């Protein structure tokens, strides 16, 4: 990877305690691929919630790689946020991805709508005023699913960046033309911060039914055909999915993207293979 284009990974705290040690093995190996940063997700309200700090701390302190801890409006009161930021800073983590978060299954609409920080921008303003954290934010090349249109979404994205976001990470997308169109609009809006393109390797047919449909990202015919052809054969599907992601990344690099952010899904073999090919 040319170092003009940054490389980064996203990991998540594994759901089962017995899988927890594996994440550290993943991270030790992933560190050898020299990413510019590794981000760790936060699941509001789940039993894994506290694990984000532990993982981010390991990335920062043990591996010496910039860690980004995700934090969400959902599940964080002002007091929780203060405690969380203190713990992160004590662990040497100075970067966060400030998000609104989605409503967890167990949460009622009333609970969801009574959160203290309503939009990610509210969280960004608070962090900017009360901490020295470096703040990233999320953006959506195919618009956020609740936004009435891309233009409205971009207006709010500009507000978020103006509030203090210094880089953006995109939702996964599979059609680079959507990203290029989005980037033109982003720059035309006066948003000049680096934008890291989120790439999700599709290595099983099942992923389309879960992660992808939740993301709201469109699936181009080429990818749908590939799943129809290889979906039944595990290894062929994995190879074809990696090949698709690699072609996407090469094309993005040729178009001068700021960064490639791989949604690693904690899968070492896939992450390594992709990095080896780009």
Pinpoint the alpha helices (H) of 37-174. Answer: 51-57, 78-90, 109-113, 120-130, 150-164
Residue 9, beta-bridge partner list: 38, 262
When the beta carbons of 171 and 271 are compared against ligand FAD, the nearer one is 171
When the beta carbons of 102 and 258 are compared against ligand FAD, the nearer one is 102
Write down the least CB distance from residue 42 to ligand FAD, Å.
Answer: 4
Write down the least CB distance from residue 223 to ligand FAD, Å.
Answer: 19
Write down the least CB distance from residue 272 to ligand FAD, Å.
Answer: 22
Q: CA-CA distances (angstroms) from residue 100 to 7, 68, 74, 132, 180?
A: 24, 16, 6, 20, 25
Write down the least CB distance from residue 39 to ligand FAD, Å.
Answer: 7
Half-sphere exposure of 101 (CA within 13 A, CB side): 27
When the beta carbons of 50 and 276 are compared against ligand FAD, the nearer one is 50
When the beta carbons of 181 and 239 are compared against ligand FAD, the nearer one is 181
**Residue 10 annotated as catalytic:** yes
Which residues make up the interface to ligand FAD (CB under 6 A)?
A: 41-42, 44, 70, 72, 99-102, 119-121, 138, 144, 146-147, 152-153, 156, 160, 169, 171, 198
Helix, strand, coil share of the chain (percent; to 5): 50, 15, 35
CB 136 within 8 A of CB 165: yes
Residue 231, beta-bridge partner list: none
CB 168 within 8 A of CB 136: yes
Enzyme catalytic residues = 10
């Amino acid at each position: 990877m040319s170092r003009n284009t940054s490389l980064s990974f996203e990991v998540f705290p594994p759901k089962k305690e017995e899988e927890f040690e594996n994440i550290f093995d993943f991270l030790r190996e992933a560190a050898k691929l020299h990413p510019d940063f590794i981000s760790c997700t936060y699941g509001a309200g789940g039993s894994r919630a506290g694990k984000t700090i532990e993982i981010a701390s390991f990335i920062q302190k043990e591996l010496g790689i910039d860690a980004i801890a995700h934090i969400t409006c959902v599940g964080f009161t002002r007091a929780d946020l203060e405690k969380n930021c203190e713990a992160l800073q004590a662990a040497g983590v100075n970067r966060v991805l400030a998000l609104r978060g989605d409503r967890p299954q167990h949460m009622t609409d009333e609970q969801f709508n009574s959160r203290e920080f309503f939009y990610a921008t509210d969280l960004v303003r608070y962090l900017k005023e009360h901490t020295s954290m470096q703040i990233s934010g999320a953006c959506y090349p195919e618009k956020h699913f609740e936004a009435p249109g891309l233009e409205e979404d971009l207006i709010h994205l500009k507000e978020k960046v103006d509030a203090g976001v210094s880089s953006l990470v995109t939702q996964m997308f599979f059609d680079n033309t959507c990203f290029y169109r989005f980037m033109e609009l982003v720059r035309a809006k006066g948003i000049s911060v680096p934008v890291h393109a989120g790439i999700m390797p599709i290595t099983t047919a099942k992923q389309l039914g879960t992660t992808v449909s939740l993301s709201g990202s469109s699936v181009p015919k080429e990818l749908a055909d590939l799943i129809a052809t290889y979906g039944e054969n595990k290894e062929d599907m994995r190879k074809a999915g990696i090949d698709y992601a690699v072609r996407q990344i090469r094309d993005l690099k040729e178009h001068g993207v700021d960064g490639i952010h791989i949604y690693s899904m904690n899968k070492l073999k896939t992450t390594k293979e992709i990095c080896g090919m780009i």
